Amino acid sequence: MQALILAAGFGRRMRPLTYECHKALLPISGSPIIDRIIGGLEACNVSPITIATGYRSEDLITHIGERFPHLDVRYVNNSDYASTNNIHSMALALEAMDLDDDVILIESDLVYEPAILDRLLSSTYENVALVDTYRSGMDGTVVTIGESGSITQVIPPALQSSDFSFTDKYKTLNIYRFSATFCKETLRRLLTYYTQTFDKESYYELILGILIYMQRAEIHAEIIRDETWAEVDDPNDLRIAEFTFSPQTRYDTLSSGWGGNWDVGVLDFAFIRNMYFPPPAMLSELRLNLPALLHNYSSRQSTLDEKMAWALQWPAPLVHAVAGTSQCYPWLRSRFRDKAVLIPDPTFGEYRRIFPEAATYRDAPGVDWREVERSAERADVVVFVNPNNPTGTTLATEQVVDLAKQSPTKTIIVDESFIDFCDEPSIVEQLQREPLENLLVIKSLSKSLGVPGLRLGCLCTSGSELASLILDELPIWNLNSVAENFLEIMLKHRPALEESYARTTASREEFSQLLKGCDLVENVFPSGGNFLLVRLAVDAGHADALARSLAEKQAILVKDASAKMADGAGYWRLAVRTTEENQFLVSALR
Which H, E and C letters describe 233-259, residue by residue?
A: CCHHHHHHHHHHHCHHHHHHHHHHHCC
Contact 26, 33 (CB under 8 A): yes
Higher pLDDT, 488 or 478: 488
Predicted local distance difference test score (pLDDT) of residue 137: 67
Judge whether 465 lies within some domain. yes
Judge whether 461 lies within some domain. yes
Query: Residue 65: which residues within 8 A CB-CB, separation 6 or more?
Result: 73
- How many structural domains comprise the chain? 3
Judge whether 281 lies within some domain. no
Judge whether 76 lies within some domain. yes
Q: Is the domain of 575 the same as that of 442?
A: no
For 450, half-sphere exposure in the C-beta direction (CA atoms, 13 angstrom radius) is 20
Q: The whole model's pTM is what?
A: 0.83
Task: Assess whether pLDDT exceeds 80 at residue 368.
Answer: yes
**Interval 431-445 mean pLDDT:** 90
Which segments of 515-568 are extended strands (E)? 521-524, 531-539, 556-557, 559-560
Most confident of the ranges 81-85, 190-194, 276-280: 276-280
- Distance CA(104)–CA(96), nearest Å, equals 15
Task: Assess whether pLDDT exceeds 90 at residue 546.
Answer: yes
Q: Which domain CATH number covers 539?
A: 3.90.1150.10
Contact 387, 421 (CB under 8 A): yes
**Interval 344-356 mean pLDDT:** 92
**Interval 194-223 mean pLDDT:** 84
Q: Is the domain of 472 the same as that of 510?
A: no
Q: Is the domain of 416 the same as that of 546?
A: no
Radius of gyration of the chain (CA): 30
pLDDT in tens, 144-167: 899 898 989 888 877 777 778 888
Task: Assess whether pLDDT exceeds 70 at residue 129.
Answer: yes
High-pLDDT (> 70) share of the chain, %: 99
| Domain termination site, one of 220, 241, 262 | 241
Q: Is the domain of 35 the same as that of 132?
A: yes
Q: Is the domain of 74 the same as that of 222?
A: yes
Q: Is the domain of 270 the same as that of 382?
A: no
Cβ atoms within 10 Å, residue 327: 17
Find, among 38, 178, 33, the residue nearest to 104 by Cα.
178
Contact 463, 471 (CB under 8 A): no
Judge whether 486 lies within some domain. no
Instruction: Work out the pLDDT band at 442, boundaries 50, 70, 90.
Output: very high
Q: Is the domain of 30 the same as that of 96?
A: yes
Predicted local distance difference test score (pLDDT) of residue 39: 92
Q: Is the domain of 400 the same as that of 455?
A: yes
Can you state the percent helix, strand and coil of the chain, rounding each to 5? 45, 20, 35
Task: Assess whether pLDDT exceeds 80 at residue 259.
Answer: no
- Distance CA(3)–CA(34), nearest Å, equals 13
Q: Which domain CATH number covers 177?
A: 3.90.550.10
Predicted local distance difference test score (pLDDT) of residue 83: 83
Judge whether 290 lies within some domain. no
Predicted local distance difference test score (pLDDT) of residue 270: 92
Predicted local distance difference test score (pLDDT) of residue 209: 82
Predicted local distance difference test score (pLDDT) of residue 156: 80
Q: Is the domain of 368 the same as that of 462?
A: yes
Task: Assess whether pLDDT exceeds 80 at residue 231.
Answer: yes
Predicted local distance difference test score (pLDDT) of residue 214: 81
Q: Is the domain of 397 the same as that of 445?
A: yes
133-142, 380-389, 532-541, 566-575: least confident range: 133-142
235-245 vs 250-257: helix crossing angle, rounded to 10:
130
Task: Assess whether pLDDT exceeds 70 at residue 539.
Answer: yes
Task: Assess whether pLDDT exceeds 70 at residue 569.
Answer: yes
Domain that holds residue 323: 299-479
How far CA 544 is from CA of 345, 348, 467, 551, 577, in Å, comes to 21, 19, 43, 11, 21
Judge whether 285 lies within some domain. no
Q: What is the mean pLDDT of the chain?
A: 90
Q: Which domain CATH number covers 465?
A: 3.40.640.10
Coil, strand or helix at 313: coil
| Domain termination site, one of 428, 451, 479 | 479
Q: Is the domain of 431 the same as that of 561?
A: no
Judge whether 280 lies within some domain. no
Q: Is the domain of 330 the same as that of 353?
A: yes
- Distance CA(89)–CA(80), nearest Å, equals 9
Contact 386, 345 (CB under 8 A): no
How far CA 324 is from CA of 166, 258, 455, 479, 514, in Å, comes to 33, 15, 4, 9, 33
| Domain termination site, one of 191, 221, 241 | 241
